[in-house]
Amino acid sequence: MNKSKVKYAVGLMSGTSLDGIDAALVEIKGSGINTKINLIEFINDDIPEKVKNEIRNCCNVEKSNTELVCSLNFKLGYLFSKSVKRVCSKANFAMEKLDFIGSHGQTIYHIPKEDGSCLKSTLQIGEPAVIAYETNTLVVSNFRTMDMAAGGEGAPLVPYTEYILYRGEKNRALQNIGGIGNVTVVPAMCNLEDMYAFDTGPGNMIIDEMVQRLKGVKYDKGGEFAAQGNVNEALLKELMEIKYITLKPPKTTGRELFGSQFVDKLLDKYKDIEDNDMIATVTMFTAKSIQENYRRFIFNKYKIDEVILGGGGSYNNTLVRYIKELLPECKVMIGEDLGYSSDAKESIAFAILANETLNGNYSNVLGATGAKKRVILGNITPIPRRA
């Protein structure tokens, strides 16, 4: 791959929160620490409710089956392809100029540690052959598996891109709040080996599921429902006793722990809690889990100057307020305060990771995933039709 040539790519991300398919059209030049990137266009496409339900069922061990996973793999491939075409169309960008696509895929199940007879493993679907055929573009996908083959947990993967974009003269904690919350610690003027990252616990996943059940809407826009409620301290105390919260990194989690089944149990056990109070409590749980992980696993190593929030949770004003109140010693900002798009952060990351794959560069961070060795991530699906 010509490292000096400007490349055009689309990064795709469909997260555990099921809040849509993110597609970022970017211009990339160089690779590694010398990467220069420019966001041309970004979109978020809704996932049809029927498909969301299929994803939820695939993630549920009691409802999943091989036929459903097989079909959904291709169904998502077509949806991802449409998002690529739409972001290019919105930018008035000719598809023929697109050099590659980086697709994270939709996580169906993730086993970060051996569990009985189950090996540590992961499954992301959204068939790359469909994306490649529909767009006639090379696709890099399945980024997690090589890290797991090297002994890692396969996540988080964004830290490498955060090193490229956010390394500077301050100690920074980059807190992404998607379906799951994850943090990357970027010490001032650090080397890649100095960085570490891990999942702090729930992000928007429990909040969104609770709001859908109690209010019949997709999410708590601006944190308005939570702002009208009061935190139930007894429930919050019980939530904070979940073992994952105090588990030492490296660690990752997902819908298998904090998904719909988790919300089922909460609503069944706490029927008497008023709706807005319940939403306020699970919102505080996300904030409190972030604080607890920082105090246990970050503040004992670094004095953090800036906490930069990204992902959909950065637009939940009540959640942001809670985090600021819990971390008074840090300057808490959102990505936009530094000129970055919080929404586009992860989709841009997978365009960058695909670029690293095609340049033959290692892009896992050992301090994030716990892998034994640095490796080249991703599977490459070639252009299916030559002109």
- Mark the binding-site residues, compressed into ranges: 15-22
At 358, the amino acid letter reads: L
Report DSSP state, residue 218: S
With contact defined as beta carbons under 8 Å apart, do 319 and 177 qualify?
Answer: yes
Q: What's the CA dihedral at 356, 166, 349, 331 to 10 degrees?
A: 160
Six-digit token string for 95? 């598809």
**Side chain identity at 353, as an amino acid letter?**
L
How crowded is residue 379: how many other Cβ atoms within 10 Å of its Cβ? 13
Binding residues for ATP are 15-22
Alpha-helical (H) ranges within the chain are: 49-59, 66-90, 128-135, 144-149, 159-166, 205-215, 224-227, 233-239, 243-246, 255-258, 260-269, 275-297, 317-326, 345-358, 366-369
Instruction: Compute and round to an integer the Cα radius of gyration of the chain.
Output: 20
Provide the 3-class DSSP secondary structure of residue 141.
strand
